[in-house]
Structure 1
């Protein structure tokens, strides 16, 4: 998709599908928790992105506050003033933002503190060897300290074992994500497993 110049269009399709699923659940009197949606660099650099999101949400009667957008570190390397305006507009509309795959990109701390992120997601490459790898423990503890200092919450990606879970709980990690809790599921399977009809 990226090499074919289709990332913006793909992101638009994903957003529309998410809103359709939210509306489907709402029609069944099911309130879904906040839904995370990835934004590619090709999306966050387009000034019209906030209006696209507002319009798609309005079309499906979805509050923008139901969405949490994830942006990779490398996606915030472009024109800083334009990027800041776009991301702040999304937050003003009610969405929340996180930096995805943190620790694998090239974001500077000055950008981190200036952009309206509320959450950082620690990349799974630092989680997979916990708690046995001392370097991964040190990196993860450093990220946890950084996020607390910036007043952000933190998500550990790639949690697969009880050992991962227990170590991260002891360190005060806010959220855990990974196969320990569920593998990716089609929407209908997700609804059947977690929101079964009486």
Structure 2
């Protein structure tokens, strides 16, 4: 089953009824909640931890997955990362674009991969544009890669035509 990634805003993670709305929409569209992966940025989880935690837990209980997007660019609270039900960390493209030549970007990326491994999370590298990025990231244990090396953003109709034609 293909996964649909949906970015959540800081406001959406503070709406207590959001998980129920997601379930209703999925039911109406005859789509399983398990097909959804919600992505939130570090900055969007800085509000009321109690509300955010309950909303995210309910989304996971409904079957969705959670990813923390653009990791390393916002206000990082490792305690929030530890206690919230994320399954993936997405390394921001700003750390990927100069790999493997920039020592600082290499160190930061390796640290994020190590942190994710220690927490039992998958790692996604954003902004992969060159074979050198791909080779280095695979060698260092990155689980998933996304970027223009594989595809530029496409309209829905083109995705369907490319990947789901009869």
TM range (shorter): over 0.9
Query: How far apart, CA to CA, are the structure 2 residues paired with 1:64 and 1:107?
Result: 28
2:13 to 36, 44, 50: 44
Which residue of structure 1 aligns with residue 28 of structure 2? 59
Which residue of structure 1 aligns with residue 53 of structure 2? 84
1:11-50 equivalences under 5 Å are 32-50=1-19
Structure 2 length-normalised TM: 0.98
Which residue of structure 1 aligns with residue 77 of structure 2? 108
State yes or no: 1:157 paired with 2:126.
yes
Query: How far apart, CA to CA, are the structure 1 residues paired with 2:41 and 2:24?
Result: 24
Q: Which has the higher contact order (CA 8 A, sep 6+)?
A: 2
Which residue of structure 1 aligns with residue 141 of structure 2? 172
Shift of 1:194: 2.0
Query: How far apart, CA to CA, are the structure 1 residues paired with 2:81 and 2:57?
Result: 13
Point out the structure with max Rg over C-alpha.
1
State yes or no: 1:191 paired with 2:155.
no
SS in structure 1 at match of 2:75: coil
Number of residue pairs matched by the alignment: 166
State yes or no: 1:144 paired with 2:113.
yes
Query: How far apart, CA to CA, are the structure 1 residues paired with 2:163 and 2:129?
Result: 19
Query: How far apart, CA to CA, are the structure 1 residues paired with 2:156 and 2:44?
Result: 27
Structure 1 length-normalised TM: 0.82
After TM superposition, where is structure 1 displaced by more than 3 Å over at least 4 residues in a row? none
Q: Which runs of 5+ in 1 are unaligned?
A: 1-31
Shift of 1:196: 2.3
SS in structure 1 at match of 2:70: strand
Shift of 1:188: 1.1
Query: How far apart, CA to CA, are the structure 2 residues paired with 1:104 and 1:51?
Result: 30
Range that drifts further, 164-173 or 185-194: 185-194
Which residue of structure 2 aligns with residue 98 of structure 1? 67
Query: How far apart, CA to CA, are the structure 2 residues paired with 1:148 and 1:86?
Result: 25
